[in-house]
Amino acid sequence: MVGTWEVAALSALIAGAVGFFVVLRGAAFAAHALPNGAFAGASAAVLASVNPLIGLAGASVLGALGIAAAGRRARNDVATALALSLMLAVGALLLSFSPGSQNQLYSLLFGEVLGVSTQQIVPTAALAGCSLVALALLYRPLLLSATMAEAAALGGRAPRMAGPAFLLVLALATTLTVPVVGATLIFTLMVGPPAAARALWARPGAALLGSVALAMLVALCAVALAYLADWPLGPFVGLGSALVYGAARALAWHRRRPRARAA
């Protein structure tokens, strides 16, 4: 359980940090598509009898590059939907060729955080560190391109490259968290707590820290409840994210009531 707590905390840390920019940039669909689409790479790796992490990383990066390239000539949501459809189709085909590996692929979809080994802590921490360094370098260009798109378009090459670079960071975060939390669960951590933080704090720095704190709260409480109840982790992660967001929206509405009355 010590390894479980550590890896869950690392996953929540990177999910909260990356998720802040996912919500800020309106990239929730991409955050949903990349982890689920990377399932195709994991299926290919299992079929080839290699580490699924290798296939997961390759598919995530290819998906991010494909979305970035197609998004230049079409709407981002259309490009994301096409990439997701293609990757899921390939994953379903490869899965049919490996009927004896459903349990391993099921764990990639829904996570195995309660079965984490100590060998996974070091690579998880290393990938988390790389993701955080990349986010620190992209912090100002990402904020500029998300809040002032026209100014970012005139600001040179760095702001314009922030979008594709962020998709690569999202792919890296996917590679980090999917084997632990699962492809279907990391999406909830990347959207629910960050959206709640955006509702509670207006300043970007405070909202970023709040996003990480709320994601950590949801993940650690979910691990504790899953251990005590002997139930799957997924329902607790999804329900916790929804409850945190609902509570944040209610609190934000309560704060606005005195201003509305005064007006």
Least confident stretch, 44-48, 55-59, 180-184: 180-184
Q: What structural domains does the chain harbor? A: 2-186 (1.10.3470.10)
User: Does the pLDDT at position 8 exceed 60?
Assistant: yes
Please give the residue that has the higher pLDDT: either 259 or 172: 172
pLDDT in tens, 78-136: 778 887 788 878 877 877 776 655 666 666 666 666 666 666 677 778 878 888 888 88
Q: How confident is the model at residue 154 (pLDDT cuts 50, 70, 90)?
A: very low
Q: What is the DSSP string of the chain?
A: -HHHHHHHHHHHHHHHHHHHHHHHTT-HHHHHHHHHHTHHHHHHHHHTTS-HHHHHHHHHHHHHHHHHHHHTTS-HHHHHHHHHHHHHHHHHHHHHT-GGGHHHHHHHHH--GGG--GGGHHHHHHHHHHHHHHHHHHHHHHHHHHH-HHHHHTS-HHHHTHHHHHHHHHHHHHHHHHHHH-HHHHHHHHHHHHHHHHHH--SHHHHHHHHHHHHHHHHHHHHHHHHHHT--HHHHHHHHHHHHHHHHHHHHHHHHHHHHHH-
User: Does the pLDDT at position 139 exceed 80?
Assistant: yes
Whole-number pLDDT of residue 212:
94
User: Does the pLDDT at position 61 exceed 60?
Assistant: yes
pLDDT in tens, 236-258: 888 999 999 999 999 988 887 77
Please give the residue that has the higher pLDDT: either 89 or 53: 89
Please give the share of the chain, as a percent, with pLDDT higher than 70.
78
Question: What number is the average pLDDT over the span 152-156?
Answer: 49
Q: Mean pLDDT, the chain, as a whole number? A: 79
Please give the residue that has the higher pLDDT: either 179 or 94: 94
User: Does the pLDDT at position 262 exceed 50?
Assistant: yes
Question: What number is the average pLDDT over the span 69-84?
Answer: 73
Whole-number pLDDT of residue 261:
65
